[in-house]
Amino acid sequence: MLRAFELLSLVPVAHAALFHLEASPSILVNGTESQPTDFALRKRVYLPYGMGTNYAFGMGAAEKHAYDPLNKYAYMISEQGYVNVVDWSSVHSAEVKSDLAVDFGGAKLTDIQLCVSKKLLIVAEVAADTVGNGKVKFYSLIKRASPKAPTLLKSVDVGPSPDMILPNSDCSKVAVANEGEGDVINGFLVDPEGSVDILNVTGKCSSLQVSKKSVTFVSDAAGNQLTDALLISMGVPLPLPLKAQEYWDETGAFSDVSFTKSRTAYTTATQLEPEFLSWSTDDATLYVNLQENNAIATVSVPSCGHPSLIRIDALGMKDHGAVPIDIQEDSTTGQPSGTPATVCAQKTYAGFKALRMPDAIQAVRVDGGHLHPDRK
């Protein structure tokens, strides 16, 4: 699909202060704020997959995006290793600014965030071999008064496969979810540990300083050692635990993959894969979505001192014996011409359960109280 970036205009416009991009949202259930009643497409901008040039189908030109509401530029990640820029100073004449694009040399980019208050563009980059340590790079934001391409200010090594980055409300810290996704290299499974990095950010522009503190999944705040047996007993699925790897090696079921190296280097943390992040509204707690594990990790992040894992909570199963679901094929693809599409029919199925495995999470403040994503 040719990728496009669209602006949806809300009508009428709610009167509100500038939305702080990094802050967790607050909601008043019985609030009197005006609410949008409609929206309409104002502009569609087609994005290149290259560095400001080259348009094609299916090239992943707009995988992630971030918008600077002060300078009115949008930044988009391309799967080809570029960050392209769209000038949104005028909605109806928005356009790609090829001279402002940033070349990452073909690197796989996974996320992009802005710290507008500190004039920072932040990009996560996976190692070339996918299993080595990744990088988080800090660039200058484009200034409306004197636009020029972002310049690199700082590059920080982080854990393997940094899948998401997320600044806290004042951009003093940037959380990094290191998925630690495994890969088969020369016939052997290489599976690094999942982890979380907290980057402490001070200064601006040429005086920018970034330090790192890491959180590993070894034990929780209660002193429990996170073993395969403990997590499985808690209802936390492990994609390929040690006993499974031993079984596959002994049976030789996978002739093209050996687990001998991954078994030697095995820790339970290799089975935990952080993928999505959300800060609490007071920035003291970070919630980490372990999507493949159907679980949420809760991390304490003090303003001073070292961050630490508090606990891991399994999200449980969804019982479709009570919650209706449509499991019938609705598509007419491959069917004879004129075949009617299946009507959506929500039904319950006794004994049918499914993992929740959320793709995203969000902590919010509702009527002044915290609503945490680990509360089912």
pTM: 0.87
Which residue from 189, 208, 206 is spatially nearest to 265, judged by alpha carbons?
A: 189
pLDDT band at 23 (very low <50, low <70, confident <90, very high): low
Which residues sit opposite 113 in a β-bridge? 122
Which residues sit opposite 189 in a β-bridge? 184
> Around Cβ 9, how many Cβ atoms within 10 Å?
13
Q: What average pLDDT score do residues 173-198 get?
A: 97
Cα distance between residue 266 and residue 269, in whole Å: 8
- Please give the residue that has the higher pLDDT: either 319 or 9: 319
Q: How far is CA 113 from CA 62, 87, 198, in A?
A: 14, 17, 15
Whether the predicted pLDDT of 141 surpasses 70 = yes
Whether the predicted pLDDT of 235 surpasses 80 = yes
Whether the predicted pLDDT of 109 surpasses 50 = yes
Which residue from 72, 197, 210 is spatially nearest to 139, judged by alpha carbons?
A: 210
Place of tokens 């694009």: 101
Q: Write the pLDDT tens digit of every residue in 254-285.
A: 889 999 999 999 999 999 999 999 999 899 99
Q: Are residues 271 and 262 in contact, defined by beta-carbon separation less than 8 angstroms? A: no
Q: Are residues 48 and 56 in contact, defined by beta-carbon separation less than 8 angstroms? A: no
Cα three-residue angle 157-294-323, rounded to 5 degrees? 150
Q: Are residues 193 and 159 in contact, defined by beta-carbon separation less than 8 angstroms? A: yes
SS3 label, residue 180: coil
Cα distance between residue 376 and residue 313, in whole Å: 10
Q: What are phi and psi of 67, to 5 degrees?
A: -125, 135
- Specify the pLDDT at position 21: 45
How many whole angstroms from its chain centre is CA 175?
A: 11
Cα distance between residue 126 and residue 121, in whole Å: 17
The helix (run of H) or strand (run of E) holding residue 249 is helix 242-251
pLDDT band at 374 (very low <50, low <70, confident <90, very high): low
- Residues with Cβ within 8 Å of residue 106, at least 6 apart in sequence: 80, 81
